[in-house]
A = this chain, B = another copy of it.
Amino acid sequence: MTRRSQAERSDVTTSRLVAAAQELFGRDGYAATTIGAIAAAAGVTKGAAYHHFLNKATLFREVFVREQEQISAALARAATAEPDTWSGLLQGCRTFLEHCLDPAFRRIVLLDGPAVLGWEAVREIEYEHTLRVLTEGLRAATADGRMVDGELRVRAQLIFGALCEAGMLLARSEDPARALPAVVTEAARLLGSLARDPDEHR
């Protein structure tokens, strides 16, 4: 009984298309991935793809959002598992860096995303996901007295930039597992500038 409702059929094909797109965009990059290839990988034709998505960039945007949802969930999970706000922040950074070891993630989120969607659009999406988690972590740590006051939006952005760069650096090293401590150390040192001992005031 392959009799399905329209909504069902539609959902199945769209999610198949997005999944195939995520796979191919992540592996080959945006420019080297054709709509035809995505459709074929999803078991449909170009017509189906253009029925559900306005154009290639729109489909890519969908993939980008998916990627954001996945990592922001992982970040939130990692942070809340920690005993206090400060270590939650550090653990979140570590989790982000580990995520950067995935080539598909780097390709989609760090390399192609800004070029394809534009910086503003990308940061707008990220501010609903990754940047939101980071900003809230900073806010919590500040409210906790573990971090000096400041423009949180700006601060989150700067830290995010440093983390992205760190993730790329890490991924490029021949032995990422061994290089991770050094990168984490430097990152923690940078963050350390913002730390404040909750017991003493200076």
Q: Interface on A for B, CB 8 Å cutoff?
A: 29-31, 106, 110-112, 114-116, 118-120, 123, 148, 150-151, 154-155, 157-166, 168-169, 172, 182-183, 185-187, 189-194
Contacts and interface: CB of A to CB of B under 8 A. Distances in A.
Contact of A115 (B114, B150, B172, B190): B114
A41 to B, nearest CB: 22
A150 B194 contact: no
Given A158-B162, A159-B162, A159-B190, 5 more contacts: A110-B114, A110-B119, A112-B115, A115-B116, A155-B186
Given A112-B115, A192-B193, A158 B172 contact: no
A30 B189 CA distance: 37
Nearest to A172: B120
A158 to B, nearest CB: 4
Given A115-B115, A119-B168, A168-B119, A189 B159 contact: no
A114 B165 CA distance: 12
Contacts of A165: 157-158, 160-162, 164
B158 A166 contact: yes
A166 B172 contact: no
Nearest to A115: B115
A125 to B, nearest CB: 14
Contact of A193 (B30, B115, B193): B193
Nearest to A148: B189
Contacts of A159: 162, 190
